[in-house]
Amino acid sequence: METVEMNSVSLKRPRSEDDVANADEIKRQKILEKSKTGNDSGQSVETVTEQPDKSLLEDAKNEMIPNEENEEQEDEELEDSDEDGDPESFADMMKHGLTESDVGITKFVSSHKGFSGILKERYSDFVVHEIGKDGRVSHLDDFSVPVDDEDPSEETFTVLSDEDKQRLEELQLLKNKEASVAIEVIEDTKEKRTVIHQAVKSLFPGLETKTEDRDGKKYIIAYHAAGKKALANPRKHSWPKSRGNYCHFVLYKENKDTMDAINVLSKFLRVKPNIFSYMGTKDKRAITVQEIAVLRITAQRLAHLNKCLMNFKLGNFSYKNHPLKLGELQGNHFTVVLRNITGTDDQIEQAMHSLREIGFINYYGMQRFGTTAVPTYQIGRAILQNNWNEVMDLILKPRPGAEKGYLVKCREEWAKTKDPATALKKLPVKRCVEGQLLRGLLKYGMKNIISAFGIIPRNNRLMYIHSYQSYVWNNMVSKRIEEYGLRAVPGDLILKGATAVHIEEGDIDNYTIHDVVMPLPGFDVIYPKHKIGEAYKEMLVADNLDINNMRHKIRDYSLSGAYRKIIIRPQNVNWEVVSYDDPRIPLFPTDLDKLEGKPLPVLPTDGKFRALKMEFSLPPSTYATMAIREVLKMDTSIKNQTQLNTTWLR
């Protein structure tokens, strides 16, 4: 470690993120090169990323970026603002981010020449439809509400005046300072009061009602439920026995991830988020369509949210007796537009035929590893090494690159004082990982980092070690393809049911590369019986880990391992090249466009720009960006895309 003398005080220069990244790269290269004997597959395996024409990308930036800002206007919460941020440009900040080669993504399976294109220039260029366990693709195509005898009467929807509805909506959406709204009961009968109570609760979810006498007149008082009552599970006695306990519906959302969407729905319905269930989470920067189930909330209440919410639509309602379970889906169907493509028709045909016939390497995509200068896999590795001071340091220390201003100030305070209380004061948003860890350190003290780290939600903690597993897997798959190409070889692993077995010499003709799996490291997996098995051990030894002892003294961090196919061949692959002049216009209709009867713009036959519209279906836990990478042969990292002046930003 280098020591710098200054005024007779010895200052040790801390190891920078660049040093760590360089060390990781050197280790990775040693392992990848150690037993390299060349490619004997008989099929070409590309290793060099094509660099797109920068001038074309510059043109795309100049033409297209301004329109994206108009498209994404939405309420900015505190954690989304960055008024205190460093004034350097986003591209400059992303110089410190990861590239694909940093996380082992280095190979291609096809031989075509790459070309450039812009992904997610508009979030509406990336549409995801969930595929249920029955193989049915989720679509939003029906806003109607199922009616049964137990539903409120039609009078419920007409008993309130327009003025009452306006006041109640403002109360519901917290648009004024009123604590309640009083509705005078003109015809004072019990039946009339009951209808008004039902109308308020049905049409304005989240509001409670009570009856009061004021000056000899009866009033229905509407107010926001508060405290535990507001978050209580739906009352059992109010639910008909003949109706399924769960209302299933299709959620169409724009530019929101699934958990954000659930939290918004919960807030408006005044219920806990845990009464919702779903089969998979979907990206933020996209239009996504998926099935959701909610416990004992009527379709009427859900349908009313369509009038209140931006960027969401709910429909295709039905009542069933079961919730949804995470992972029950068959996969997702993607419709993707790559704008301003530079490839020739022949290049595009070759690329798409290869995607359909051969597929792509099933790498874990860049989003698995974070976007800042400290990759999530480094934190995962430190957890597995039981190096808790390193875990704390990696999460809290100052780091170069793209970060919100308050996080920068928090890190600087931590580096200066090592005092959780003063660092925490710099954070207006306490629910970020840094805030949670600091609260843990405040509660348990600096000598009990394990308990402090345990305050972070379990899924977030496990994300770090899963990221490390993914990092190892990506590197080993690149090594496997480098060594043996695109054919199954003796010693490879295949699955028989849920059990992994080695391919024997005599069985080699029964299998192809599409059958081969490779393990994520853990205590309950086996490894290939060829050079790659040794490469796994060497990589973990270089990281001070024992491949034969992947159990951790903290049970949550013990890795059992898993198997993952190395090549994925997408299903239902279709594509077309379209021309366009205006980068602001959508190039295909969404479910909502079809429901609302919006006509599609007429596209020119010889426009200024060309776009590739592609469709394909993928199984769960595969990354569409890796399929697109195989088509374009471009680095999909934010760092690389910003440096190339594209708008390929997630």
Look at residue 289 and give its three-state secondary structure.
strand
Look at residue 71 and give its three-state secondary structure.
helix
Query: Which one, of 634, 583, 603, lies nearest residue 68 by Cα?
Result: 583
Q: What is the dihedral of CA 635, 636, 639, 645, to 10 degrees?
A: 80
| Residue 151 main-chain phi, psi, to 5 deg | -70, 155
| Joined tokens for residue 306 | 């369509």
Give how far Cα 603 sits from Cα of 62, 304, 600, Å: 21, 36, 9
Q: Which residue has the tokens 């909330």?
A: 297
Q: At what angle do helices 405-417 and 433-444 cross, to 10 degrees?
A: 30
Give how far Cα 78 sits from Cα of 82, 90, 404, 423, 431, Å: 8, 19, 10, 18, 12
- How far is residue 202's CA from residue 304's CA, in Å, rounded to a whole number? 8
291-313 burial code (b ≥16 CB/10 A, e <16): bbbbbbbbbbbbbbbeeeeebbb
Q: What is the dihedral of CA 91, 97, 98, 99, to 10 degrees?
A: 20
Strand order in the sheet with 516-520: 499-502, 493-496, 516-520, 562-565
- How far is residue 443's CA from residue 625's CA, in Å, rounded to a whole number? 41
Look at residue 637 and give its three-state secondary structure.
coil
Which residues are tagged catalytic? 283
- How far is residue 199's CA from residue 207's CA, in Å, rounded to a whole number? 11
